[in-house]
Amino acid sequence: MCQITEKDTKKKVLSCIQPSGMLTLGNYLGALKNWVSMQEEFDCTYAVADLHAITVRQEPAKLRSQIYSTFAIMLALGLDPEKNTMFIQSHVPEHAQLAWLLSCYTQFGEMSRMTQFKDKSAKHADNINVGLFAYPALMAADILLYKPDFVPVGADQKQHLEIARDIAVRFNNIYGDVFTVPEPYIPKTGARVMSLQDPSKKMSKSDENVNSWVAILDSKDDIIRKFKRAVTDSETVVRYSQDKPGISNLLGIYSAVTGKSNEQIEREFEGKGYGDFKLAVGEAVADELAPIKAAYDKIISDKGELERLYRLGADKAERVARKTYFKAMKKVGFVL
Ligand code: AQP
């Protein structure tokens, strides 16, 4: 008799993160913090999207250490490798294999409209490679292999999910019901964190200005120093306003970390200067990140256990991925 487990009844969620630098406070508040709460409600698949990282040139030793550290941070956050499927993308070859198949069902025109391609090719004009152009097909493969019901998306990522959905629908229309068409999932909490040096841009781990981002693994001193240097304005009143992007960004961060509303924060800092406010934000962020850093230091010092866990995750992931991949190949007409 077939037993129905809790896992079978839970909706499936998939999310990935690129090891293209040190993970930042933006990655944490915008995505990773939600990953932790989602593991209770959903059957989650979480991957380190290392294949995506090389659309921009990476130094080999640095990339290797960032892959380890991204996986270790996922564990340090409290993500459970037994409950979730947690793995490194390149360990499951079906991602690259399905990406090729899907790229043959994706139009040049739709790829050209991707804003990330436009942004990154402007930023890396000396390396506008085909991978950078074709990455949405790989992202579609990342998603469709696992048949998730939901994919969490921030505002900047809606376009990627849209193209994955379009490709899935197109493929299904030709070959029948192969892929699940996932819905976007807007997490209950989630902040868009902006650069501390240029609040018109999002905080990005690949930003060359190290003062523009706070890393999850930064020391308390570094975190406070970076907040002290954050770009603000000349008004010296702590209040939320579109005309005050620097202070509004700090308000958003402080609110996400402490759970206080903007009004509460404005009252808390009434009559106080930006110096006090920046220090309070820095301390609150450092306190929130300290336990993650402490857990990380333990995890990263045991490479054997780390390897056991990412191999376990890859085995689990591949069992699912292989089924979807072979089904798609068979439908297209390949001899298996
Ligand atoms: N600043 C941010 N605020 C809120 N959420 C953010 N995310 C990234 N930056 C912010 C969210 O983190 C998840 C993983 O993102 P990713 O690493 O796969 O790619 P990304 O969005 O391109 O992140 P970065 O840091 O900007 O990387 P680089 O510099 O390499 O391009 C996503 O859910 C993303 O929304």
pLDDT of residue 301: 96
Q: Give the separation between CA 283 and CA 280, rounded to whole angstroms.
A: 5
Average pLDDT of the residues in 201-220: 95
Give the tens place of pLDDT for each residue, 73-131: 999 999 999 999 999 999 999 999 999 999 999 999 999 988 888 888 888 889 999 99
pLDDT of residue 156: 66
**With 60 as the cut, is the pLDDT of residue 4 above it?**
no
Pocket test for ligand 1, best of 13, 194, 204 (most atoms within 8 A of CB): 204
Dihedral-angle region of residue 14 (phi above 0 means left; psi in -120 to 50 means alpha; beta otherwise): beta
Q: Are 83 and 122 in contact (CB under 8 A)?
A: no
**Residues 6-191+302-332, CATH architecture:** 3-Layer(aba) Sandwich (3.40)
**With 60 as the cut, is the pLDDT of residue 37 above it?**
yes
The DSSP call for residue 195 is: P
Give the tens place of pLDDT for each residue, 17-33: 999 989 999 999 999 99
* Fold of the domain built from segment(s) 210-297: Tyrosyl-Transfer RNA Synthetase (1.10.240)
The DSSP call for residue 32 is: I
Nearest CA to ligand 1 atom 15: 17
Nearest CA to ligand 1 atom 7: 27
Could you state, in order of their start, the residue ranges of all structural domains in the chain?
6-191+302-332, 210-297
pLDDT of residue 6: 61
Indicate the average pLDDT of the chain.
Answer: 94
Confidence of residue 173 (pLDDT cuts 50, 70, 90): very high
Question: Helices in 176-273 by DSSP H: which ranges?
Answer: 220-228, 245-258, 262-268
Expressed in angstroms and rounded, the spacing between residue 275 Cα and the centre of ligand 1 is 28
